[in-house]
Structures are given as structure tokens and as C-alpha cells.
């Protein structure tokens, strides 16, 4: 897009994902692309450990520290790690499987900015004017 007195600017933040999702934003997609291998690498350290509450607690603590840092850098709004008896049944344990469920709520981005200029008379406070709109 060419803008007067400013030259050309490439605009766009969408991926090719067609269904409504935050993953339609390239910023969100890039964050998730960075997060996934980091989580996989962190979990590799738990391979061949005992599948017990101590290990599951360590998984939650390890991923919790990583995700707290990710969140502090605006990688997500919220996250939750589930790695306990609610998602690790005795059948899973007997089959040597450790289940870790990671829920992530990515932040959204501003793709459009709407603004208004409201002209008020001197007799009306801005708070009252805002309430009238």
C-alpha cells in the first residue's frame, strides 16, 4: 500500500488459516512455533523417569517456570498445565505413558484501530460526554 508522503508499506498479519482462530495471526502463530519445540525439549528430560506423582510434580514445576517466563514476555495471556491423576490413568502408567496437557490462551493483536474525536461544549465534562455516546 502506498501512503501519501510516506512511501510503500506492506500490511498484513494473517496466515492462510481459514477458520476463526487466534492462530490466524502471524504473531500468535510465531509464538506458538517457538513454544512447541521448547516444551518438547523440556519434556525430554523426563523420559525414562518414574511415572509417579513426584515426576508429574516436577513436570508441572519445570513447565510452569518456562511458561511464566513466556507469559511475562507477552507470549500468552494465560496457561494451565495438567499432569496428574486426572489425565494419567493406571492404564497409561501400565503402558509407560506420561500425559501432559498444556492449555495456552495466546494474546490477540490489534489489527485495526478505531478512534473517534468527540467535540464537547465547555459546559459538559468529558466523563458525562463519554456516558452520552
- Residue-wise pLDDT tens digits, 15-50: 777 787 777 788 888 889 999 999 999 999 999 999
- What φ, ψ does residue 88 adopt, rounded to 5°? -130, 95
Rounded CA-CA distance 69/62 in Å is 11
Chain-centre distance for alpha carbon 16: 19
Pairing of strands 101-105, 2-3: unpaired
Place of cell 461544549: 121
What pLDDT was estimated at residue 4?
Answer: 81
Please answer whether residues 90 and 99 qualify as being in contact, where contact means their C-beta atoms are separated by less than 8 angstroms: no
pLDDT digits (tens, 9 = 90+) for 96-128: 999 999 999 998 888 789 999 989 999 989 999
pLDDT digits (tens, 9 = 90+) for 44-81: 999 999 999 999 999 999 999 999 999 999 989 999 99
The set of residues, in sequence order, having a beta carbon less than 8 Å from that of 81 and lying 6+ positions away, is 59, 60, 63, 64, 67, 100, 101, 102, 103
Amino acid at each position: 500500500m502506498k501512503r501519501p508522503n510516506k512511501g510503500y508499506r506492506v500490511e498484513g498479519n494473517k496466515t492462510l488459516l481459514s477458520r476463526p482462530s487466534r492462530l490466524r495471526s502471524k504473531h500468535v502463530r510465531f509464538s506458538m512455533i517457538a513454544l512447541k519445540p521448547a516444551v518438547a525439549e523440556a519434556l525430554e528430560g523426563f523420559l525414562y523417569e518414574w511415572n509417579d506423582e513426584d515426576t508429574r510434580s516436577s513436570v508441572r514445576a519445570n513447565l510452569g517456570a518456562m511458561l511464566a517466563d513466556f507469559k511475562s514476555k507477552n507470549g500468552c495471556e494465560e496457561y494451565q498445565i495438567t499432569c496428574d491423576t486426572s489425565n494419567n490413568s493406571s492404564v497409561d502408567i501400565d503402558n509407560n505413558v506420561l500425559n501432559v496437557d498444556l492449555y495456552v490462551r495466546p494474546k490477540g493483536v490489534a489489527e485495526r484501530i478505531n478512534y473517534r474525536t468527540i467535540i464537547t461544549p465547555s459546559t459538559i465534562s468529558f466523563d458525562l460526554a463519554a456516558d452520552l455516546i
